[in-house]
Structure 1
Amino acid sequence: MFGYNQEKAKQVAKAYVKHKAKSVLVKFLMSKPGLIIAGILLLILLILGSIQAFIEAGEISNRLDDEHNQKLQKDVVDIARKKSGNLLDYYGTDENLALNAAWVMSYYKYLQFMNKADITEAKDFDEVAKELAKQGIKSAVNQILPQWYIYRKVKGELSDLAERMKPRFLYIKTERKTVTTKLLHYSMPRTYSYTVSKEVYNPETGKYETQTENKSQTVTVKWTEKVEITETQPIWLIVAADTIKQRYTFSYDINEYKRTYQNNVPQKTQKTKSQDLKFDFDPTKFIENKNCLHASDLGIKSTFELKTNFDKTDKDMKPSTSSKTLETSSETEEPAFSPEKGATNISHTDGEKKLEKEEVLQVIETVPELNGQNSIGKEYERLEEMIKEDNPGENIELAKSMIINTAMSFIKGTKDLNWVFSDINDYMNVGGYVNCSYIPAQFLPMFQEAEKLMGIPYWFLGAVSFRESSFNPSAKAENYDGVAIGLMQVQQKHWNSRVEAFKNAFPDVTITGDITNPRDQILIGTWTLYNSFKEMGIDPKTVDWQGDGWKEQVIPALAGYWMGVNGAKQWDAPRNFAKTRSEYAPPLIDQAQLYKSVSEMLTNPNVAKPIAGEIYITSPFGMRYHPISHEWKMHTGIDIATTYGQPVFAVQNAVVKFAGWMNGYGKTIILQSGEYEFYYAHLAEINVQVGQVVKKGDEIGSADSTGYSSGNHLHFEIRINGTPVDPLTVLGNLQ
């Protein structure tokens, strides 16, 4: 009974040690140093855990399943759009001012993070119980809140946020006028009829008798008419805006562009400022009256027609046209009518008038153009007001950074935490956006050098850099393995060893070894990626970079690059790289495809670019939420940012199939080349005529914002046998 029990002795010993360790730990934690250390650790864990939950754009609420989350994200876009009202056709401002769905989502995540979005208040359970009782369930005390209820409540909270965040815009109705002077060359058949009398000897009577004969002669009459054609296009101009980002008023010049022509080819354009666009009211009153949603609420009398984005109005306003004849030349006849001698009863009849030639002499356009965007208050003032209202005493700068960066992550569809560890202004780059259509010019030669050395295309390397750092050489991101640095986010702890390995592999290539040097960042980052390919059993030279095979073949290497090769082999490879496929690779591959397509277009000798200079794609091909109609629609082309009057060019030798006004598209040119049709929409000027043959690179018109548009841009579209296709996938391969 009292014998030695070895197993029990072990258990007692373990329990004693555990108790003593626990006592020592508790004693230490209760001491001042222990409390400080525990507090710091707890704070770090809380911040990192909360930020991770906060930044995950797909996770609206931990209490909702994936199906309800996806539905909620779609719904909140619709809610935010409806709250934004009707965005009218305007000039000079960013259409994203009105696209506040991302702001609503990010602000809600902020409220969750601060425990301000409470979906489990006690009073809610009573409501749920009543609903469940209706369904025959007696008790809801031990039940989990049903998905439908949480979804409905969260959607209501998001709707309330959208109401508080809704942007307000004030517009005036004015016009753009185009006066075109043309010389019209006409022709017309003219038939002369006359009678000729002759004295003819009649042998039967032995006398001369008078005989008459009716004759006719047809000539071509030619003349010219100088005409003046005036086209007046009604437009809406934004004069005040109250958004989460900024409160603005806008001012405009009325500028005149006079363009002369020779042989229908524009020769010289002279710009003159005719006057300021003067308002007979103060737009700041709209900003100050924060509850004003309709122009009628302002109580302003103006000669302008005023509208807000919450007023009903016609968006697609067609132009009116009038013409007058300035002078008419004298008529000429070919050949000249020459009746026979003695002709009498001369008369003529004219045939149908025919336009032989249309010659443009001059075009004068009078255009209102933005000359000032005047801030009322400071940037993100409304956002600050909301934060203070919901969370008095909050660290405003930190809260703004969290909300702004989460909004950017939502727009881009990424889960980017780099901003947490670097200065917000540096990370967001100039203006908060990076041109996603082009690799920055200062880095392009460096990526091309890396391609020559290691065989990985520069466009793919550029996409890796865009995914990792948004082309920010100063980007720093802390992670479990230390700190990732620069354009390619190479781990700092591995930098020196990889520099030495690179120098051994490429002894003829000189590098500084400086981790802050952009060229070194790209070369060492590419070397890291190259070795990831190799260690995952892939030779970059065997990858199908020319076709589409690369999109699948790069997955293992990407897993090794972002997880580390050992981590990828241990955790992701056994699951067919599911994590890489779902989280890291998709936006990178999409970006690489964009760079590849642009590269193929630029290097294809058979096509010319639709505009000169860099092509900044503001809206790609595919499904999108239309910035004006507020509906999910297929975007059948690409939108390229332009300035007013920027020339557009024929991408291939073609025939002009259409040149004129199209509903929604505004002034439009359609070029036909075999099975291909090339659409150029929202133009300011059309310099070609139907049936005209154009050559690759010919200037065919100029860009504007006519039709159903929200700002200056070129909508460029390609159709094959009538079916729209992505222009970027076609231009690089056109023959």
Structure 2
Amino acid sequence: MYGFDRQKTKQVAKAYVKHKAKAALIAFLKSPPGLITIGVLLIILLIIGSLQAFIEAGEISNRLDDEHNQKLQKEVVDIAREKSGSLLDYYGTDEDLALNAAWILSYYKYLQFMNKADITEAKDFDEVAKEMAKQGIKSAVNQILPQWYIYNKLKGELTNVAERMKPRFLYIKTERRTVTTKLLHYSMPRTYSYTVSKEVYNPETGKYETQTENKNKTVTVKWTEKVEITETQPIWLIVAADTIKQRYTFSYDINEYKRTYQNSVPQKTQKTKSQDLKLDFDPKKFIENKDCLHASNSGINSKFELKTNFDSAEKEQKPSTSSKTVETSPQTEEPAFSPENGASNVSHTDGEKKVEKEEILQVVETVPELSNQNAIGKEYERLEEMILEDNPKEDIALARSMIVNSALSFMSGTKDMSWVFSQINDYMNVGGYVSSSYIPAQFLLMFQEAEKLFGIPYWFLGAIAYRESSFNPQARTPNSDGVAVGLMQVQQKYWNSRVETFKNAFPDVTITGDINNPRDQVLIGSWTIYNCIKEMVGDPSSIDWQGDGWKEQVIPALAGYWMGIGGAKKWDAPNNYAKTRSEYAPQLIAQAQLYKSVGEMLANPEIAKPVAGDMNITSPFGMRYHPIYKTWKMHTGIDIATTYGQPVFAVKDSVVKFAGWMSGYGKVIILQSGEYEFYYAHLADIDVQVGQMVTKGQQIGGADSTGNSTGNHLHFEVRINGTPVDPLTVLGNLQ
């Protein structure tokens, strides 16, 4: 008998069952019920897959929305903090500030703005106040988010507005006349020729004979001529302007400046008004003709040559010069020629004359100067007329703010919503205008005292005060910790404790402890930044204050000063430093560099200032939006505000390389000292000549607005081997 193999029998049975099941499944799937079952299963699988994808997409979308909302909320919070100090706590929003008047006003304006963009419904002020009191600021701020939508919506409209609101200017061509009276000292060689006859005894003949000899003698002839040199400079004067903000007409006086000289050095200037500049047309006619872009279409007949900013005529034209001799002195000879006895046939020939000396006696300049700017209508009238043309029911004030501020944002390439908070300063005591070039004299000694105590440069401390309060010792900024006070915006709640620690650290330094005392504000604020540096960086002496290393080294300390040392360290320090570097520090560091450069220049004994008094720098070195060409251009120097005729001085012992008219620069003087060239542009007077040696501090001319210029100022430029460099970075170290 064959043996029984149980394991093999199981395998055979399994194979048989599997085969039968597979055959049955295939038969079922091929049958109508089987096909229906397959379809149902496929649908179920598709539904499950779609649902999973939808869930994942929703999670991603929610995550992105949260990130975006947090980012935008942070931007709004930062705007508010910038405008009103630490209005919001750094770790988040402060629910207790819900009734802050500035926030309510800002949020109300924002809701109105959003309504104009068809995003939400407008609400009245009381409703907004109640809503904020109920929700708290955090909830309200969360709603101030979709900036990008508003900007994109307005972008197309702004393009249309810009086209319709093109500013128009009407110019007339007139002239500036300068009559310079000079005394020219001439010399020339004069050679006399003559014949001398004499009787000479001839021993061979025993008789006296007449002999002749031709002789020459050269003398120097000198005389003076008084000459008048008349230079006529064509200029274009604006007589009417039609801009998006205001319409104007302009009136001018023809003024005469008579400047007398002694040894070519200016002594005094007398100004007299000779007459009004009389127009033979009413410039209002141009403004009323709103569609006129070219002077030829203005319908104005005038003896003046007219142009507008849309005409292609060149604004700049070179001057013409003529001269005449008004007086000549008698000629003198050195030595005086006296012919010998018996001389005959006396004659002379003159050589080439040359100017030995040129002496300026007087300069009389007749120049048209603005006497009156007459506003026509109210501000933004032209814009408001356009708005009402488009929508008679428009909210004029809000629409105007939207257009103007959004346009400014587009021009600067930023999404700036700070105008929404523009009235916050009404609730704060904020300082007014200060010169950006100098630390105010009344505070300078205080910052220098702090420098000696803490080893932190006065120019850096001054820049903090400029950034925090614009040098306003009465500044008060409400925030979540109470109020930040004074020049350095020290928190009032920490004032007493910081005064106490300061006194312990510097027992020999007397302070009043009065929070309203400017000196105390400087010392306690400087003590605060000193501790930030010690905690976040190290000893102040380790910072590269002499070079440029300080600009990065101070970032952690500025983060501590801005956010508080604890906040800067505790909450994501790297991001805090990055935030400080991009938001708080740039203006402060740029201001500190300006103070540093100006201070180094003033302290350099080898250099004289190009103008007397304060140097109010109105345009620094670097890229800027050019006021005439209306485009971004490299500004190769610095512009210093001046009055007409204000003296300008040689910054260093130099030789005059150029003195005259140069395209764009107008009247310009170029001084050269080794590899350095110093440009003085847009001048009224030139008191030096090419080749003349000038000494440091010597007056070389007077300021004006000649050439391509929009107002009186000195364009001062420094070039090293022909390459423009920032004057403020050079003059402080120039030897």
The answer to whether residue 260 in structure 2 is matched with residue 257 in structure 1 is no
Please give the secondary structure, in 2, of the residue aligned with 1:299.
coil
> How many Å separate the matches in 2 of 1:593 and 1:534?
22
Q: Which letter maps to 1:376?
A: I
Asked if 1 retains the 8 angstrom alpha-carbon contact of 2:431 and 2:475, the reply is no
Taking a change above 3 Å as real, the CA distance of residues 416 and 115 of structure 1, as seen in their structure-2 partners, is: closer
The answer to whether residue 404 in structure 2 is matched with residue 422 in structure 1 is no
Asked if 1 retains the 8 angstrom alpha-carbon contact of 2:429 and 2:476, the reply is no
Q: C-alpha displacement at 1:226, in angstroms?
A: 0.8
Q: Which letter maps to 1:709?
A: S
Question: Bigger shift: 403-412 or 575-584?
Answer: 403-412
Q: For 1:684-723, list aligned pairs within 5 A.
A: 684-723=684-723
Asked if 1 retains the 8 angstrom alpha-carbon contact of 2:685 and 2:702, the reply is yes
Taking a change above 3 Å as real, the CA distance of residues 425 and 381 of structure 1, as seen in their structure-2 partners, is: farther
Q: Which letter maps to 1:438?
A: Y
Q: C-alpha displacement at 1:171, in angstroms?
A: 1.8
- Aligned partner of 1:163 in structure 2 is 163
Q: 1:232-259 CA distances to partner (integer Å, 9 max, x unpaired)?
A: 1111122222333433222222111111
Asked if 2 retains the 8 angstrom alpha-carbon contact of 1:559 and 1:572, the reply is no
Asked if 1 retains the 8 angstrom alpha-carbon contact of 2:666 and 2:708, the reply is yes
Aligned length: 608
Q: 1:129-157 CA distances to partner (integer Å, 9 max, x unpaired)?
A: xxxxxxxxxxxxxxxxxxxx999987644
Taking a change above 3 Å as real, the CA distance of residues 173 and 244 of structure 1, as seen in their structure-2 partners, is: same
Q: 1:421-477 CA distances to partner (integer Å, 9 max, x unpaired)?
A: 2229975835xxx42212233433333333333332221122122223333445555
> How many Å separate the matches in 1 of 2:504 and 2:242?
59
The answer to whether residue 627 in structure 2 is matched with residue 618 in structure 1 is no
Asked if 1 retains the 8 angstrom alpha-carbon contact of 2:169 and 2:308, the reply is yes
Q: C-alpha displacement at 1:625, in angstroms?
A: 2.8
Q: C-alpha displacement at 1:163, in angstroms?
A: 2.1
- Aligned partner of 2:367 in structure 1 is 367
> How many Å separate the matches in 1 of 2:714 and 2:648?
8
Please give the secondary structure, in 2, of the residue aligned with 1:266.
strand
Q: C-alpha displacement at 1:53, in angstroms?
A: 9.9
Asked if 1 retains the 8 angstrom alpha-carbon contact of 2:622 and 2:634, the reply is yes
> How many Å separate the matches in 1 of 2:167 and 2:79?
24
Q: 1:373-424 CA distances to partner (integer Å, 9 max, x unpaired)?
A: 2222344545666677778564838974995699599879998688452229
> How many Å separate the matches in 2 of 1:152 and 1:559?
34
Taking a change above 3 Å as real, the CA distance of residues 55 and 567 of structure 1, as seen in their structure-2 partners, is: closer
Please give the secondary structure, in 1, of the residue aligned with 2:287.
helix
Unpaired runs of at least 5, structure 2: 1-69, 83-108, 120-148
- Aligned partner of 2:102 in structure 1 is none
The answer to whether residue 287 in structure 2 is matched with residue 287 in structure 1 is yes
Q: 1:476-524 CA distances to partner (integer Å, 9 max, x unpaired)?
A: 5555555544433333443444344444444555555555554444333
Question: Bigger shift: 279-288 or 638-647?
Answer: 279-288
Asked if 1 retains the 8 angstrom alpha-carbon contact of 2:676 and 2:720, the reply is yes
The answer to whether residue 331 in structure 2 is matched with residue 331 in structure 1 is yes
Q: C-alpha displacement at 1:211, in angstroms?
A: 2.7
Q: C-alpha displacement at 1:642, in angstroms?
A: 0.7
- Aligned partner of 2:459 in structure 1 is 459
Q: For 1:188-227, list aligned pairs within 5 A.
A: 188-227=188-227
TM-score by length of 2: 0.75
Please give the secondary structure, in 2, of the residue aligned with 1:347.
strand
Q: Which letter maps to 1:197?
A: S
Asked if 2 retains the 8 angstrom alpha-carbon contact of 1:499 and 1:513, the reply is yes
- Aligned partner of 1:636 in structure 2 is 636
Q: 1:660-695 CA distances to partner (integer Å, 9 max, x unpaired)?
A: 222221111122222221111111101112222222
Q: Which letter maps to 2:619?
A: S
Q: Which letter maps to 1:569?
A: K
> How many Å separate the matches in 2 of 1:493 and 1:56?
18
Structure of higher CA gyration radius: 2
Taking a change above 3 Å as real, the CA distance of residues 412 and 248 of structure 1, as seen in their structure-2 partners, is: farther
Taking a change above 3 Å as real, the CA distance of residues 243 and 362 of structure 1, as seen in their structure-2 partners, is: same
- Aligned partner of 1:17 in structure 2 is none
Asked if 2 retains the 8 angstrom alpha-carbon contact of 1:185 and 1:357, the reply is yes
> How many Å separate the matches in 2 of 1:569 and 1:191?
93
Asked if 2 retains the 8 angstrom alpha-carbon contact of 1:112 and 1:118, the reply is no
Unpaired runs of at least 5, structure 1: 1-44, 58-108, 120-148
> How many Å separate the matches in 2 of 1:488 and 1:415?
26
Taking a change above 3 Å as real, the CA distance of residues 374 and 52 of structure 1, as seen in their structure-2 partners, is: farther
> How many Å separate the matches in 2 of 1:558 and 1:228?
63
- Aligned partner of 2:445 in structure 1 is 445
> How many Å separate the matches in 1 of 2:322 and 2:397?
57
- Aligned partner of 2:248 in structure 1 is 248
Question: Bigger shift: 566-575 or 403-412?
Answer: 403-412
Q: C-alpha displacement at 1:231, in angstroms?
A: 0.5
> How many Å separate the matches in 2 of 1:415 and 1:595?
30
> How many Å separate the matches in 2 of 1:437 and 1:281?
43
Asked if 2 retains the 8 angstrom alpha-carbon contact of 1:174 and 1:235, the reply is yes
Taking a change above 3 Å as real, the CA distance of residues 466 and 162 of structure 1, as seen in their structure-2 partners, is: farther
TM-score by length of 1: 0.75
Asked if 2 retains the 8 angstrom alpha-carbon contact of 1:56 and 1:415, the reply is no
